[in-house]
């Protein structure tokens, strides 16, 4: 990482002051269990959310809160952070301890997490105004897109579970009833700290979406 500092600076578009912050932001826990990007990711997630929320209020001053919330979710989710992370070629700089994983393409979640960690590092290194300009430079075309990408309930529940518990939600198939032309599927889903919540649908996918929606409402994340 330290050897590639000039390449990283070129990708980011600025000179780094506190190198150790960026080394940590690009270090996966498999490479270092203590000095890794997890805490910077936590910080960067909050900084990103604040900057994007502030900009959305400026761009869409008359929009309803519910629409702004959906727009925000589409701009700060793991898929969008992965997209920005790939644009910045962060996958070329992430330090991973697993040799097998090193030989493969760095997985999507790691690139996404390192992008948020990078934002946390920039905030600590350069301050709020600087990191805000960096975020808006990289997210601007997405912010000004008036099309809202609504994140489905199953994806939203998955992102919440990964962020809070580092594990995926657990889905359980319960039953498949009804005639072939009108099937009825029942599934259940739970998080690490919840009981199973059941829901039904005309397909297994729809039942899973219904169960995820129900659980999100219970934990007040809709």
pLDDT of residue 179: 82
Element containing residue 38 per DSSP (H, E) = helix 38-59
CATH architecture for the domain at 153-218? 2-Layer Sandwich (3.30)
Domain 2-143 homologous superfamily, CATH: Ribonuclease III domain (1.10.1520.10)
**Same fold across 2-143 and 153-218:** no
Backbone angles phi, psi at 146, to 5 degrees: -75, -10
Contact by Cβ (8 Å): 221, 215:
no
User: What confidence tens digit (pLDDT) does each residue in 92-141 have?
Assistant: 899 888 654 554 556 788 999 999 999 999 999 999 999 999 999 999 98
Mean pLDDT of 70-83: 90
- Are 196 and 173 in contact by the 8 Å Cβ rule? The answer is no
Q: How many CA atoms lie within 13 A of 139 on its CB side?
A: 28
Task: Output the pLDDT for position 99.
Answer: 52
**Is 116 a catalytic site residue?**
yes
- What mean pLDDT is predicted for residues 82-99? 88
Provide the β-strand partners of residue 187. Answer: 173, 199
Catalytic residue among 45, 125, 132, 159: 45
Q: Which of 19, 11, 8 is nearest to 121 (CA)?
A: 19
Domain boundaries, the chain: 2-143, 153-218
- Residue among 113, 116, 125, 159 flagged as catalytic: 116
- In this prediction, residue 31 carries a pLDDT of 87
Mean pLDDT of the chain: 88
For the record, the structure tokens of 209 come out as 């979406």
Q: How far apart (Å, rounded) are the C-alpha atoms in residues 183 and 168? A: 27
Helices 108-126, 128-143: axis angle to 10 degrees equals 140
Confidence label for 21 from pLDDT (cuts 50, 70 and 90)? very high
* H-only helix segments in 127-203: 128-143, 153-165
CA-wise closest residue to 157 among 213, 198, 210? 213
Q: Which two tokens stand for residue 196?
A: 């199973």
Q: What is the CA radius of gyration of the chain?
A: 20
- Of 148, 107, 123, nearest to 45 by C-alpha is 123
Is residue 132 annotated as part of the catalytic site, yes or no? no
In this prediction, residue 150 carries a pLDDT of: 62
Report phi then psi at 189, rounded to 5: -140, 150
């Amino acid at each position: 990482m330290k050897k590639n500092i000039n390449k990283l600076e070129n990708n980011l578009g600025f000179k780094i002051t506190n190198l150790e912050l960026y080394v940590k932001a690009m270090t996966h826990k498999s490479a270092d269990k203590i000095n890794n990007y997890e805490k910077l990711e936590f910080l960067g997630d909050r900084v990103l959310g604040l900057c994007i929320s502030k900009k959305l209020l400026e761009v869409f001053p008359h929009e309803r809160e519910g629409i702004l919330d959906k727009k925000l979710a589409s701009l700060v989710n793991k898929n969008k952070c992965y997209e920005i992370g790939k644009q910045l070629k962060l996958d070329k700089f992430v330090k991973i301890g697993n040799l097998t994983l090193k030989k493969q393409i760095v997985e999507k979640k790691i690139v996404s997490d390192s992008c948020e960690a990078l934002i946390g590092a920039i905030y600590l290194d350069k301050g709020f105004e600087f990191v805000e300009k960096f975020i808006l430079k990289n997210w601007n075309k997405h912010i000004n897109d008036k099309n809202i990408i609504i994140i489905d309930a199953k994806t939203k529940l998955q992102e919440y579970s990964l962020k809070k518990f580092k594990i995926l939600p657990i889905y359980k198939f319960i039953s498949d009833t009804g005639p072939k032309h009108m099937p009825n599927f029942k599934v259940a889903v739970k998080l690490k700290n919840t009981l199973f919540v059941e829901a039904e649908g005309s397909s297994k996918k729809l039942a899973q979406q219904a169960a995820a929606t129900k659980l999100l409402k219970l934990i007040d994340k809709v």
